[in-house]
Copies of this chain bind each other. A is one copy, B any other.
Protein backbone atom coordinates (compact mmCIF):
# COMPACT_ATOMS: atom_id res chain seq x y z
CA UNK A 1 0.00 0.00 0.00
CA UNK A 2 1.22 3.47 -0.82
CA UNK A 3 -0.19 6.72 0.44
CA UNK A 4 1.57 9.27 -1.69
CA UNK A 5 2.91 12.32 0.10
CA UNK A 6 3.09 14.25 -3.15
CA UNK A 7 -0.20 15.87 -2.25
CA UNK A 8 0.60 16.41 1.41
CA UNK A 9 -2.83 17.67 2.34
CA UNK A 10 -4.61 14.62 0.95
CA UNK A 11 -2.03 12.28 2.46
CA UNK A 12 -2.51 13.89 5.87
CA UNK A 13 -6.27 13.78 5.82
CA UNK A 14 -6.21 10.14 4.77
CA UNK A 15 -3.49 8.83 7.07
CA UNK A 16 -4.83 10.27 10.33
CA UNK A 17 -7.95 8.17 9.86
CA UNK A 18 -6.38 5.07 8.25
CA UNK A 19 -3.91 4.76 11.09
CA UNK A 20 -6.82 5.14 13.53
CA UNK A 21 -5.57 8.21 15.31
CA UNK A 22 -8.89 9.98 14.87
CA UNK A 23 -12.33 9.69 13.34
CA UNK A 24 -13.51 12.81 11.54
CA UNK A 25 -17.09 11.68 11.09
CA UNK A 26 -18.25 13.01 14.46
CA UNK A 27 -21.40 14.99 13.64
CA UNK A 28 -20.24 18.35 15.06
CA UNK A 29 -18.18 20.52 12.71
CA UNK A 30 -14.50 20.86 13.58
CA UNK A 31 -14.65 18.28 16.38
CA UNK A 32 -13.17 14.80 16.02
CA UNK A 33 -13.00 11.63 18.07
CA UNK A 34 -9.68 10.57 19.61
CA UNK A 35 -9.46 6.87 18.79
CA UNK A 36 -7.51 4.61 21.20
CA UNK A 37 -4.34 4.63 19.10
CA UNK A 38 -4.35 8.40 18.77
CA UNK A 39 -5.27 8.96 22.38
CA UNK A 40 -2.45 6.68 23.54
CA UNK A 41 0.00 8.71 21.47
CA UNK A 42 -1.32 11.98 22.94
CA UNK A 43 -1.22 10.51 26.44
CA UNK A 44 2.40 9.44 26.06
CA UNK A 45 3.19 13.03 25.13
CA UNK A 46 1.10 14.33 28.05
CA UNK A 47 2.85 12.05 30.51
CA UNK A 48 6.27 13.16 29.30
CA UNK A 49 5.18 16.77 29.76
CA UNK A 50 3.67 16.10 33.19
CA UNK A 51 6.78 14.38 34.46
CA UNK A 52 9.02 17.27 33.46
CA UNK A 53 6.83 20.03 34.82
CA UNK A 54 6.32 18.20 38.08
CA UNK A 55 10.06 17.85 38.49
CA UNK A 56 10.31 21.62 37.85
CA UNK A 57 8.07 22.10 40.89
CA UNK A 58 4.85 22.82 39.01
CA UNK A 59 1.61 21.77 40.67
CA UNK A 60 -1.04 20.22 38.43
CA UNK A 61 -4.48 21.75 38.72
CA UNK A 62 -7.75 21.56 36.86
CA UNK A 63 -9.90 24.63 36.56
CA UNK A 64 -13.57 24.56 35.55
CA UNK A 65 -14.16 24.65 31.80
CA UNK A 66 -16.50 27.62 32.01
CA UNK A 67 -15.82 31.30 32.50
CA UNK A 68 -18.66 33.75 33.14
CA UNK A 69 -19.28 36.82 31.00
CA UNK A 70 -18.61 38.94 34.07
CA UNK A 71 -15.16 37.39 34.46
CA UNK A 72 -14.53 38.09 30.79
CA UNK A 73 -15.76 41.65 30.93
CA UNK A 74 -12.49 43.10 32.06
CA UNK A 75 -11.47 46.00 29.81
CA UNK A 76 -8.37 44.36 28.44
CA UNK A 77 -6.90 43.63 25.05
CA UNK A 78 -6.58 39.94 26.03
CA UNK A 79 -10.32 39.56 26.15
CA UNK A 80 -10.87 41.40 22.89
CA UNK A 81 -8.41 39.05 21.24
CA UNK A 82 -10.63 36.08 21.98
CA UNK A 83 -14.06 37.63 21.56
CA UNK A 84 -14.78 36.14 18.17
CA UNK A 85 -13.66 32.66 19.15
CA UNK A 86 -15.84 31.99 22.16
CA UNK A 87 -18.59 29.40 22.44
CA UNK A 88 -21.33 30.89 24.62
CA UNK A 89 -23.66 28.98 26.90
CA UNK A 90 -26.84 30.96 27.36
CA UNK A 91 -29.21 28.30 28.66
CA UNK A 92 -29.23 25.77 31.50
CA UNK A 93 -32.03 23.26 31.12
CA UNK A 94 -34.93 25.41 29.97
CA UNK A 95 -33.78 28.48 31.87
CA UNK A 96 -31.92 31.41 30.39
CA UNK A 97 -28.72 32.02 32.37
CA UNK A 98 -28.38 35.38 34.09
CA UNK A 99 -24.67 35.47 33.36
CA UNK A 100 -23.67 33.76 30.10
CA UNK A 101 -20.84 31.26 30.34
CA UNK A 102 -18.01 30.93 27.83
CA UNK A 103 -16.12 27.70 27.25
CA UNK A 104 -12.47 28.45 28.02
CA UNK A 105 -10.36 29.26 24.97
CA UNK A 106 -7.32 29.40 27.32
CA UNK A 107 -7.40 29.89 31.08
CA UNK A 108 -6.06 33.32 32.01
CA UNK A 109 -9.54 34.67 32.73
CA UNK A 110 -10.35 31.56 34.78
CA UNK A 111 -7.13 31.39 36.76
CA UNK A 112 -6.10 34.93 37.59
CA UNK A 113 -9.15 35.85 39.69
CA UNK A 114 -8.04 32.90 41.85
CA UNK A 115 -4.36 33.95 41.76
CA UNK A 116 -5.62 37.19 43.27
CA UNK A 117 -6.97 35.20 46.24
CA UNK A 118 -4.00 32.86 46.57
CA UNK A 119 -1.13 35.31 46.41
CA UNK A 120 -0.62 37.47 49.50
CA UNK A 121 3.11 38.07 49.89
CA UNK A 122 6.52 37.12 48.51
CA UNK A 123 6.45 33.79 50.33
CA UNK A 124 3.63 32.71 47.99
CA UNK A 125 5.95 33.24 45.01
CA UNK A 126 6.94 31.80 42.67
CA UNK A 127 3.58 30.18 41.95
CA UNK A 128 3.86 27.50 39.27
CA UNK A 129 0.81 25.65 37.96
CA UNK A 130 -0.10 23.70 34.86
CA UNK A 131 -3.09 21.86 33.52
CA UNK A 132 -3.77 19.41 30.71
CA UNK A 133 -7.29 20.09 29.50
CA UNK A 134 -9.57 20.66 26.54
CA UNK A 135 -10.10 24.18 25.29
CA UNK A 136 -12.66 25.30 22.75
CA UNK A 137 -12.43 27.86 20.00
CA UNK A 138 -15.11 28.75 17.53
CA UNK A 139 -12.78 28.55 14.54
CA UNK A 140 -14.12 30.08 11.38
CA UNK A 141 -11.11 28.98 9.33
CA UNK A 142 -10.89 25.60 7.63
CA UNK A 143 -10.47 22.93 10.32
CA UNK A 144 -8.17 19.92 10.09
CA UNK A 145 -7.54 17.19 12.70
CA UNK A 146 -4.90 18.11 15.31
CA UNK A 147 -3.93 21.25 13.36
CA UNK A 148 -6.97 23.42 13.77
CA UNK A 149 -10.01 22.13 15.58
CA UNK A 150 -12.76 23.49 17.75
CA UNK A 151 -12.18 21.09 20.65
CA UNK A 152 -8.46 21.20 21.40
CA UNK A 153 -6.28 19.13 23.69
CA UNK A 154 -4.08 21.68 25.42
CA UNK A 155 -1.35 22.00 28.05
CA UNK A 156 -0.91 25.37 29.70
CA UNK A 157 1.63 26.49 32.31
CA UNK A 158 1.05 29.64 34.34
CA UNK A 159 3.54 31.19 36.72
CA UNK A 160 3.77 34.29 38.92
CA UNK A 161 7.02 35.85 40.15
CA UNK A 162 8.42 38.67 42.26
CA UNK A 163 10.19 40.43 39.47
CA UNK A 164 10.76 40.57 35.74
CA UNK A 165 14.07 38.72 35.90
CA UNK A 166 12.56 35.74 37.68
CA UNK A 167 9.91 35.62 34.98
CA UNK A 168 12.65 35.72 32.33
CA UNK A 169 14.46 32.85 34.09
CA UNK A 170 11.20 30.91 33.99
CA UNK A 171 11.00 31.43 30.23
CA UNK A 172 14.50 29.97 29.97
CA UNK A 173 13.34 26.89 31.90
CA UNK A 174 10.44 26.55 29.45
CA UNK A 175 12.98 26.65 26.62
CA UNK A 176 15.02 23.88 28.24
CA UNK A 177 11.90 21.75 28.60
CA UNK A 178 10.87 22.52 25.06
CA UNK A 179 14.27 21.38 23.83
CA UNK A 180 13.75 18.14 25.71
CA UNK A 181 10.20 17.58 24.39
CA UNK A 182 11.16 18.25 20.78
CA UNK A 183 14.26 16.10 21.08
CA UNK A 184 12.11 13.17 22.20
CA UNK A 185 9.57 13.90 19.45
CA UNK A 186 12.41 14.32 16.91
CA UNK A 187 11.03 17.70 15.83
CA UNK A 188 13.21 20.63 14.77
CA UNK A 189 11.87 24.14 15.30
CA UNK A 190 12.72 27.81 15.16
CA UNK A 191 12.15 30.22 18.01
CA UNK A 192 10.41 33.16 16.42
CA UNK A 193 9.59 36.44 18.16
CA UNK A 194 6.12 37.32 16.98
CA UNK A 195 5.79 40.92 15.86
CA UNK A 196 3.92 43.23 18.22
CA UNK A 197 0.77 43.09 16.14
CA UNK A 198 0.67 39.30 16.27
CA UNK A 199 1.68 38.53 19.84
CA UNK A 200 -0.62 36.82 22.33
CA UNK A 201 -3.27 39.36 23.37
CA UNK A 202 -2.04 41.02 26.55
CA UNK A 203 1.53 39.69 26.49
CA UNK A 204 4.64 41.85 26.69
CA UNK A 205 6.16 39.54 24.11
CA UNK A 206 5.50 36.16 22.57
CA UNK A 207 8.05 33.65 21.37
CA UNK A 208 6.59 30.99 19.15
CA UNK A 209 8.13 27.65 18.29
CA UNK A 210 7.47 27.22 14.59
CA UNK A 211 8.27 24.10 12.65
CA UNK A 212 8.22 23.57 8.89
CA UNK A 213 5.87 21.00 7.43
CA UNK A 214 6.55 18.93 4.29
CA UNK A 215 4.08 21.19 2.51
CA UNK A 216 6.46 24.12 2.97
CA UNK A 217 4.02 25.78 5.34
CA UNK A 218 4.82 26.53 8.99
CA UNK A 219 3.03 25.21 12.05
CA UNK A 220 3.21 26.89 15.44
CA UNK A 221 3.62 24.00 17.89
CA UNK A 222 4.38 25.83 21.12
CA UNK A 223 4.51 29.32 22.58
CA UNK A 224 6.03 30.98 25.60
CA UNK A 225 4.85 34.36 26.76
CA UNK A 226 6.28 37.08 28.95
CA UNK A 227 3.26 38.82 30.52
CA UNK A 228 5.22 41.23 32.68
CA UNK A 229 2.63 42.90 34.93
CA UNK A 230 0.01 43.34 32.20
CA UNK A 231 -2.32 40.59 33.37
CA UNK A 232 -1.67 41.25 37.06
CA UNK A 233 -2.76 44.85 36.63
CA UNK A 234 -5.99 43.79 34.95
CA UNK A 235 -6.81 41.03 37.43
CA UNK A 236 -5.41 42.93 40.40
CA UNK A 237 -2.93 40.23 41.42
CA UNK A 238 -0.62 41.84 43.99
CA UNK A 239 1.89 40.65 46.55
CA UNK A 240 3.64 42.30 49.49
CA UNK A 241 7.40 42.54 49.19
CA UNK A 242 9.56 41.84 52.25
CA UNK A 243 9.59 45.55 53.02
CA UNK A 244 5.78 45.57 52.96
CA UNK A 245 5.49 47.37 49.64
CA UNK A 246 2.63 46.16 47.48
CA UNK A 247 3.46 45.24 43.89
CA UNK A 248 1.82 43.49 40.95
CA UNK A 249 3.21 40.00 40.19
CA UNK A 250 5.15 39.20 37.02
CA UNK A 251 3.72 36.37 34.96
CA UNK A 252 4.59 33.90 32.23
CA UNK A 253 2.81 31.16 30.35
CA UNK A 254 3.79 28.24 28.15
CA UNK A 255 1.26 26.59 25.86
CA UNK A 256 1.30 23.58 23.60
CA UNK A 257 -1.39 21.36 22.19
CA UNK A 258 -2.43 18.42 20.04
CA UNK A 259 -0.56 20.21 17.26
CA UNK A 260 2.45 18.22 18.46
CA UNK A 261 0.62 15.17 17.08
CA UNK A 262 0.02 17.04 13.81
CA UNK A 263 3.74 17.79 13.53
CA UNK A 264 4.82 14.24 14.40
CA UNK A 265 2.43 12.78 11.82
CA UNK A 266 3.30 15.27 9.09
CA UNK A 267 7.03 15.59 9.43
CA UNK A 268 8.00 11.97 10.05
CA UNK A 269 5.49 10.15 7.85
CA UNK A 270 6.21 8.67 4.44
CA UNK A 271 4.41 6.94 1.57
CA UNK A 272 3.87 3.89 3.74
CA UNK A 273 2.14 5.85 6.49
CA UNK A 274 3.13 7.12 9.92
CA UNK A 275 6.52 6.83 11.55
CA UNK A 276 6.13 7.50 15.24
CA UNK A 277 9.01 8.71 17.41
CA UNK A 278 9.95 5.71 19.57
CA UNK A 279 9.73 7.63 22.84
CA UNK A 280 5.99 8.24 22.48
CA UNK A 281 4.87 5.46 20.09
CA UNK A 282 1.96 3.51 21.62
CA UNK A 283 3.55 0.34 20.23
CA UNK A 284 7.34 0.57 20.03
CA UNK A 285 7.96 -2.96 18.84
CA UNK A 286 5.59 -5.28 17.00
CA UNK A 287 6.41 -8.97 16.90
CA UNK A 288 5.14 -10.93 13.89
CA UNK A 289 5.44 -14.72 14.12
CA UNK A 290 5.56 -16.42 10.71
CA UNK A 291 3.91 -19.83 10.88
CA UNK A 292 6.12 -22.63 9.45
CA UNK A 293 7.18 -26.08 10.60
CA UNK A 294 8.47 -25.24 14.05
CA UNK A 295 6.23 -26.26 16.92
CA UNK A 296 7.92 -23.91 19.33
CA UNK A 297 7.06 -20.74 17.40
CA UNK A 298 4.41 -19.63 19.89
CA UNK A 299 6.55 -20.26 22.95
CA UNK A 300 9.60 -18.60 21.38
CA UNK A 301 7.43 -15.60 20.43
CA UNK A 302 6.21 -15.33 24.01
CA UNK A 303 9.76 -15.57 25.29
CA UNK A 304 10.82 -12.70 23.08
CA UNK A 305 7.75 -10.67 24.03
CA UNK A 306 8.57 -11.11 27.70
CA UNK A 307 12.20 -10.13 27.23
CA UNK A 308 11.25 -7.05 25.21
CA UNK A 309 8.78 -5.98 27.89
CA UNK A 310 11.44 -6.50 30.56
CA UNK A 311 13.54 -3.93 28.72
CA UNK A 312 10.75 -1.43 29.42
CA UNK A 313 9.69 -1.44 25.77
CA UNK A 314 6.01 -1.26 24.75
CA UNK A 315 5.52 -4.36 22.61
CA UNK A 316 2.71 -6.19 20.88
CA UNK A 317 2.45 -9.62 19.25
CA UNK A 318 0.37 -9.79 16.06
CA UNK A 319 -0.66 -13.43 15.96
CA UNK A 320 -3.92 -12.92 14.03
CA UNK A 321 -4.29 -16.02 11.88
CA UNK A 322 -6.62 -14.45 9.33
CA UNK A 323 -3.87 -12.20 7.95
CA UNK A 324 -0.63 -12.97 6.10
CA UNK A 325 2.72 -11.77 7.46
CA UNK A 326 2.94 -9.42 4.46
CA UNK A 327 -0.38 -7.81 5.33
CA UNK A 328 0.77 -7.35 8.91
CA UNK A 329 4.04 -5.76 7.83
CA UNK A 330 2.16 -3.20 5.79
CA UNK A 331 -0.40 -2.66 8.52
CA UNK A 332 2.11 -1.89 11.29
CA UNK A 333 4.31 0.13 8.98
CA UNK A 334 1.27 2.24 8.16
CA UNK A 335 0.60 2.64 11.90
CA UNK A 336 4.16 3.91 12.32
CA UNK A 337 5.56 1.27 14.68
CA UNK A 338 9.31 2.07 14.82
CA UNK A 339 10.62 -1.50 15.00
CA UNK A 340 9.36 -4.88 13.80
CA UNK A 341 10.60 -8.28 14.89
CA UNK A 342 9.95 -11.18 12.51
CA UNK A 343 10.15 -14.70 13.84
CA UNK A 344 10.04 -17.79 11.64
CA UNK A 345 11.44 -21.31 11.68
CA UNK A 346 14.98 -20.15 11.22
CA UNK A 347 14.84 -17.66 14.08
CA UNK A 348 13.40 -20.31 16.39
CA UNK A 349 16.14 -22.71 15.43
CA UNK A 350 18.98 -20.22 15.68
CA UNK A 351 17.60 -18.46 18.76
CA UNK A 352 17.71 -15.20 16.86
CA UNK A 353 15.46 -12.32 15.76
CA UNK A 354 15.10 -10.58 12.44
CA UNK A 355 14.60 -6.85 12.83
CA UNK A 356 13.24 -4.25 10.51
CA UNK A 357 13.58 -0.60 11.45
CA UNK A 358 10.75 1.54 10.12
CA UNK A 359 13.26 4.12 8.89
CA UNK A 360 15.75 1.81 7.17
CA UNK A 361 15.79 -0.53 4.22
CA UNK A 362 16.87 -4.12 4.75
CA UNK A 363 16.67 -6.47 7.66
CA UNK A 364 19.01 -6.92 10.61
CA UNK A 365 19.80 -10.23 12.24
CA UNK A 366 20.19 -10.25 16.02
CA UNK A 367 21.06 -13.09 18.38
CA UNK A 368 18.54 -13.53 21.19
CA UNK A 369 21.41 -13.02 23.64
CA UNK A 370 21.90 -9.51 22.20
CA UNK A 371 18.27 -8.48 22.69
CA UNK A 372 19.19 -5.69 25.09
CA UNK A 373 20.46 -3.90 21.98
CA UNK A 374 16.86 -3.15 20.97
CA UNK A 375 16.98 0.11 22.91
CA UNK A 376 19.86 1.25 20.69
CA UNK A 377 17.88 0.27 17.61
CA UNK A 378 15.00 2.46 18.73
CA UNK A 379 17.46 5.27 19.37
CA UNK A 380 18.74 4.78 15.82
CA UNK A 381 15.20 5.28 14.51
CA UNK A 382 14.96 8.48 16.53
CA UNK A 383 18.27 9.72 15.15
CA UNK A 384 17.17 9.07 11.58
CA UNK A 385 13.88 10.90 12.18
CA UNK A 386 15.75 13.87 13.64
CA UNK A 387 18.10 14.05 10.67
CA UNK A 388 15.29 13.79 8.11
CA UNK A 389 13.13 16.35 9.86
CA UNK A 390 16.02 18.77 10.15
CA UNK A 391 16.65 18.38 6.43
CA UNK A 392 13.05 19.39 5.63
CA UNK A 393 13.51 22.48 7.77
CA UNK A 394 16.94 23.43 6.43
CA UNK A 395 16.03 22.77 2.81
CA UNK A 396 13.05 25.04 3.17
CA UNK A 397 15.07 27.74 4.87
CA UNK A 398 17.75 27.60 2.20
CA UNK A 399 15.20 27.53 -0.60
CA UNK A 400 16.31 24.10 -1.88
CA UNK A 401 13.18 22.21 -0.81
CA UNK A 402 11.70 19.78 -3.29
CA UNK A 403 9.25 20.66 -6.03
CA UNK A 404 5.54 20.40 -5.56
CA UNK A 405 5.31 21.93 -2.11
CA UNK A 406 2.15 23.81 -1.35
CA UNK A 407 4.07 26.86 -0.28
CA UNK A 408 7.59 28.10 0.39
CA UNK A 409 9.64 29.70 3.14
CA UNK A 410 11.55 32.95 2.73
CA UNK A 411 13.72 34.91 5.10
CA UNK A 412 14.28 38.64 4.83
CA UNK A 413 16.10 41.16 6.95
CA UNK A 414 13.47 43.49 8.32
CA UNK A 415 13.02 46.20 10.92
CA UNK A 416 10.24 46.26 13.51
CA UNK A 417 7.82 48.52 11.63
CA UNK A 418 4.49 47.22 10.41
CA UNK A 419 4.74 49.22 7.16
CA UNK A 420 7.91 47.40 6.16
CA UNK A 421 6.40 44.07 7.11
CA UNK A 422 3.22 44.83 5.13
CA UNK A 423 5.23 45.80 2.13
CA UNK A 424 7.30 42.62 2.24
CA UNK A 425 4.18 40.49 2.81
CA UNK A 426 2.69 41.99 -0.32
CA UNK A 427 5.86 41.36 -2.31
CA UNK A 428 6.27 37.73 -1.14
CA UNK A 429 2.59 36.86 -0.78
CA UNK A 430 3.59 35.27 2.53
CA UNK A 431 2.98 36.13 6.18
CA UNK A 432 5.62 37.80 8.34
CA UNK A 433 6.03 35.42 11.31
CA UNK A 434 8.62 37.44 13.23
CA UNK A 435 12.34 37.58 13.87
CA UNK A 436 14.08 34.21 14.03
CA UNK A 437 16.08 33.94 17.23
CA UNK A 438 19.60 32.51 17.37
CA UNK A 439 19.96 31.88 13.72
CA UNK A 440 19.06 35.12 11.99
CA UNK A 441 21.60 37.84 11.35
CA UNK A 442 21.34 41.57 11.88
CA UNK A 443 21.53 43.84 8.89
CA UNK A 444 19.71 46.57 6.99
CA UNK A 445 15.93 46.35 6.59
CA UNK A 446 15.32 45.32 2.99
CA UNK A 447 12.45 47.79 2.76
CA UNK A 448 13.51 50.95 4.60
CA UNK A 449 17.23 50.43 5.13
CA UNK A 450 17.07 50.91 8.91
CA UNK A 451 18.48 48.38 11.32
CA UNK A 452 16.76 45.01 10.98
CA UNK A 453 16.93 41.31 11.82
CA UNK A 454 16.35 38.11 9.86
CA UNK A 455 12.64 37.42 9.75
CA UNK A 456 10.59 34.43 8.72
CA UNK A 457 8.04 34.65 5.93
CA UNK A 458 5.72 31.70 5.38
CA UNK A 459 2.20 30.56 4.92
CA UNK A 460 1.24 29.32 8.38
CA UNK A 461 -1.41 26.73 9.17
Contact = CB atoms under 8 A, between A and B. Distances in A.
Given A36-B129, A87-B101, A88-B90, A63 B114 contact: no
A267 B27 CA distance: 43
Contacts of A114: 23, 25-26, 33
A33 B64 contact: yes
Contacts of A134: 65, 134
Contact of A84 (B33, B70, B93): B93
Contacts of A94: 83-84
How big is chain A's contact interface, by range? 35 or more
A92 B129 CA distance: 29
A307 B68 CA distance: 48
Interface stretch (A54-62, A215-223, A409-417): A54-62
Contacts of A387: none
A375 to B, nearest CB: 23
Nearest to A128: B36
A35 B64 contact: no
A39 B23 contact: no
Interface in A78-110: 83-95, 101, 103, 110
Please tell me how many copies of the chain the complex holds. 2
A28 B91 contact: no
Contacts of A84: 93-94
Interface in A144-201: 151, 153
Given A32-B64, A61-B34, A83 B93 contact: yes
Interface string A332-371: 0000000000000000000000000000000000000000
Interface of A is mostly: mixed
A40 interface: yes
A424 interface: no
A89 B91 CA distance: 7
Contacts of A23: 114, 117-118
A89 B92 contact: no
A33 B63 CA distance: 5
Interface in A315-332: none
A401 to B, nearest CB: 35
A43 interface: yes
Contacts of A101: 28, 87
A66 B87 CA distance: 11
B93 A86 contact: yes
Contacts of A95: 138
Given A28-B68, A61-B36, A103 B89 contact: yes
A117 to B, nearest CB: 6
Given A33-B63, A66-B87, 6 more contacts: A23-B118, A28-B71, A33-B62, A33-B114, A34-B62, A34-B63
Interface of A: 23, 25-28, 31-36, 39-40, 43, 59-68, 70-71, 83-95, 101, 103, 110, 113-114, 117-118, 129, 134, 136, 138, 140, 151, 153
